[in-house]
Structure 1
């Protein structure tokens, strides 16, 4: 087969390696280099870096909507286009170009969590499981029929970053299975998505990272996990703005106002919530690095004294 691969972030790299394993990838599409880091120098995407390591040609158009972009893709004579977190919309004329159309690896059990941030939204919502789908792309956003899928439980303390890494590998496995079938002349049977249960995982916004102490502790603990390693939850604790890297919910009955520090010690900093308390275990001060709550309290003995 002649496969064109399109992807951009780390999540897509395992799938790229799977697609390239048979030597069938004729080109890799990824977004243009973007400014990154403190110096804002142009940086290649993770997919571009992996493609160059594999010796694959890389194309980086700003859009696929132009006649020139479609001509370049047509000239590649693709049998299949594999799309994994590419970040650019594929117009109908592009979807129709490959012989077998376009396949997408999506990090949820569709139709739940269509959209940009399915991994984080699944954790934030308290889902017990998630998974990956290999989907036949159509014009709608993540609405195409599912070809293959694989479910996996979400760990009780699993973060967005940890689940992201697991689903990237699981997505590559599902893609490997789909490609093996297609090479054998067996086209995976498309299963239309049901309308029932469809949800949308909107893009993460840094403004969402602020913890609201009037919410239940369980909800805040899930948000801390979901938003790690980005954008990282933030909270006002004893008059100081902190980034919260690790926390657990405590089923603690109290009458304190939300945001009150109930206890501070080696095990963490317990903050009153609308229901229960949130125990902060790892945090970061402005301009500092992530540290344990115990290390933080060495500089905030006032919190230990006031809660003892």
Structure 2
């Protein structure tokens, strides 16, 4: 079976690696254009492009696939490249571009998407973050037959995965990436035998995983500690939960719920020691155990306190200064 692959980040790279290991022919990869990244803001190829170049696979990086859009020349070149492959299917994983109807209609088996949620829950851009933030007990991967809607296509395969109590978006992403790679191989092998049976998504249970914005990182200390603990996990590694003290931004990378009751105003430091920094919230206390200040490294609470004095009675701010913590 011949596959065109469309994807950009590490989640997609894991799927492409699995497809290649399973012996599928991948004559063409579509990925986002190179973007500035790092402290020097040099152009950097996506993880998928890097793998494709390593495996000597042709790469196309159109800015759009809309023939009537802003970049019709990009779209026309991509169309010619896709049609030339005579691919059986196009596999999509976190690609980042909307696929117009001509793309959906080109491969014999259509376009199959690897989506990191149990559809119809968490359609959209950030399903892993939102599942953790919402306190979901489980998530999973759905292999979906793509249509023109936002993750509305028929479901082909689905497998559940438990969300652990200490899962961050980073750790859950890695497990879902492995699962997604395995499921897409299974789906294509079944499709080759004509054995896939598309199941329409139900109308009930639809939720949307809206894109994560940097301004969501600020910890609102009036929220319950349970909610804040989930946000810390959900925003690790991006954008990183944050607070501040006296104008100094602080990232909070690891935290857990402390005492059920906390006698203090929201944001007030109740205790600060090597075990963690205990902060009063709208309900209960949040214990911060790994932090980072601007220009510094991620440190355990005890090490952080050696270079950043915090004492009971001080109040952390829910408004984070514009200076970024890197």
- Give TM class, smaller chain: over 0.9
Name 1:6's counterpart in structure 2: 6
Q: Is the 8 A contact 1:137 1:144 kept in 2?
A: yes
- The residue number in structure 1 matching 2:186 is 177
Task: Tell me, yes or no, if structure 1 residue 83 matches structure 2 residue 92.
Answer: yes
Q: 1:132 aligns with which of 134, 141, 153?
A: 141
Q: What's 1:279 paired with?
A: 287
Q: Which runs of 5+ in 2 are unaligned?
A: 68-75, 315-326
Matched residue SS, 1:303: coil
* Residues 272 and 310 in structure 2, CA contact (< 8 A), matched pair in contact too: no
The equivalent residue for 1:209 is 217
In structure 1, what is the equivalent of residue 208 of structure 2? 200
Question: CA shift at 1:246, angstroms?
Answer: 0.5
Deviates more, 1:5-14 or 1:35-44: 35-44
Local SS of the residue matching 1:86? coil
CA distance in 1, matches of 2:187, 2:48: 21
Deviations 1:36-74 (A, max 9, x none): 112111111000011111221111111111334323222
Establish whether residue 256 from structure 1 lines up as the match of residue 257 from structure 2.
Answer: no
- Residue 273 of structure 2 is matched in structure 1 by 265
How far apart are 1:236 and its partner, in Å?
Answer: 2.6
* 1:154 matched residue in structure 2: 163
Cα deviation per residue 1:238-289 (whole Å; 9 max; x = unaligned)? 7643100110012431331101111111210000000001000000011111
Q: 1:163 maps to what in 2?
A: 172
Q: Distance in 1 between matches of 2:49 and 2:61?
A: 9
1:141 is aligned to 150
Q: Secondary structure at the match of 2:62?
A: coil
Deviation at 1:305, TM superposition (A): 10
Contact 1:237/1:259 (<8 A) preserved: no
Paired positions, count: 306
Contact preservation (8 Å) 1:297, 1:304: no
TM-score by length of structure 2 reads 0.90
Matching of residue 35 in structure 1 with residue 36 in structure 2 = yes
- Runs of 4+ that moved beyond 6 A: none
Which residue of structure 2 lines up, in the alignment, with residue 24 of structure 1? 25
C-alpha contact (below 8 Å) 1:238/1:260 kept by paired residues = no
Is residue 109 of structure 1 aligned with residue 127 of structure 2? no
Which residue in 2 is equivalent to 1:100? 109
Question: Who is 1:225 aligned against?
Answer: 233
Q: Which consecutive residues of structure 1, in runs of 5 or more, have no partner in the other structure?
A: none
